[in-house]
Amino acid sequence: MGIGGYSLFDNFIAFSEMSSDIRWEKRGYSDIYIYNTDTKDKVRLTSNQRYFKPVFSTNGERLAVIQFDYNRVPSVVVLNSFSGEILQTIPFDRGYSILDLSWNDDDSFIALSIISKKGNQLGVIDLESEKYSSVTSWDNIQRSKVQYYGNKLIFTSSYSGIDGIYSIDLDTLKEYRVVSSRFGADYPFIYNDELIFSDYTIDGFKLNKISLDSSCFIPLAQVVKGHVDYFSPLLTEEETIPTIDNPVKYVSSNYNPNLHLININSWLINPITPVMVGSEVFNSSIDKLFFKVPEIVLFSSDYLGLMDNTFYTHYNIDRELWDFGSIGTYRQILISLFRWLPVVPLQGLRLELLPIFIEILDWIIQFIQSFLII
């Protein structure tokens, strides 16, 4: 069973853990880990994936996880609980978000709650045919934290205006209210025909437990709908979200910043630029005042912002010659060339040689430039 992103089977706890790429700060992963409560061992089941909210199957042999790939396409992925091998992948349309998963008693179906631009919906996946079937229609009523219970789904809903625990019969598709709390009930968890949930009280959250007796369930028709569709009046006045019949798919390819060292994107002209020499350094009167006329600056940056360069030229009236220069080129090129320097782990710490190398290089260049100042 799983709740709140964790899943428990015997003495094993499955969970997802996010991590950054060891080298690229804008790339991240979410992998599945298994923790053994007896041996206190933590095992990484997957590597460099984007998996979330693992849920053990009833027999513990499989894990169902939510996947979002780099194209934001969601999928339900079934893994081997021992090896992490991918057994099944059931993709959904881009633009859908899968919130929760739950196995049925014989591990043949997976229930899930999903949201899209059409609203919220509960559904089930037949693992044999890998077909998805909707259980509720699309609407704006929250339904989440779904749990299988026999031929029923138990879930959190805001139908009455506050969060409560509800149920839907998969045979008749009739909905019922199971728990109503004064301030809200959430996070249903079923164990041995008992419902454990988070009961929000005037003193905060408290753990509560009741016996599940379907004869005590209240039909949804007898529950006053308190859900407020704040945006419904506005939506009726607005145009619907446009649908593109033939969307263009752009093929991604490898990008090498070294091939885009010069990519001029903007420029700047300074007609006259006065420069004071001496007073800033020695806190004395102005030793010298000279002008750079004019100054032309070109800014270059590759598409990913990895190679930012500034090229400039100006005529120095005081020295009666043209100055040329570039800012940032050497550093960015070296970062690109030496980015494959190793990252050495030291007892849980990371020793990144590239930043150290760049700092030393900056110091050396500044030292050399200090002898070139006129």
Cβ atoms within 10 Å, residue 20: 11
Considering the domain architecture, whether residues 36 and 140 belong to the same structural domain is answered as: yes
Q: State the residue for tokens 């590597």.
A: 47
238-251 in b/e burial notation, b at 16+ Cβ within 10 A? eeeeeeeeeeeeee
**What's residue 166's pLDDT?**
95
Overall domain count for the chain = 2
Q: Residue 125 and residue 104: Cα distance in Å, rounded?
A: 10
**What's residue 374's pLDDT?**
40
Considering the domain architecture, whether residues 53 and 198 belong to the same structural domain is answered as: yes
Burial class (CB in 10 A: 0-12, 13-18, 19+), 331: middle
Considering the domain architecture, whether residues 56 and 167 belong to the same structural domain is answered as: yes
Considering the domain architecture, whether residues 185 and 39 belong to the same structural domain is answered as: yes
Q: Residue 349 and residue 129: Cα distance in Å, rounded?
A: 47
Domain that holds residue 289: 257-337
Considering the domain architecture, whether residues 219 and 271 belong to the same structural domain is answered as: no
- Mean pLDDT, consecutive 10-residue stretches, the chain (374 aa), reads 73 92 77 95 93 95 94 94 96 93 95 93 96 93 92 93 93 93 90 91 88 89 80 69 75 78 82 56 49 74 72 70 65 53 50 61 66 48
Tell me the pTM: 0.69
**What's residue 46's pLDDT?**
95
CA-based end-to-end distance of the chain: 74
Considering the domain architecture, whether residues 100 and 41 belong to the same structural domain is answered as: yes
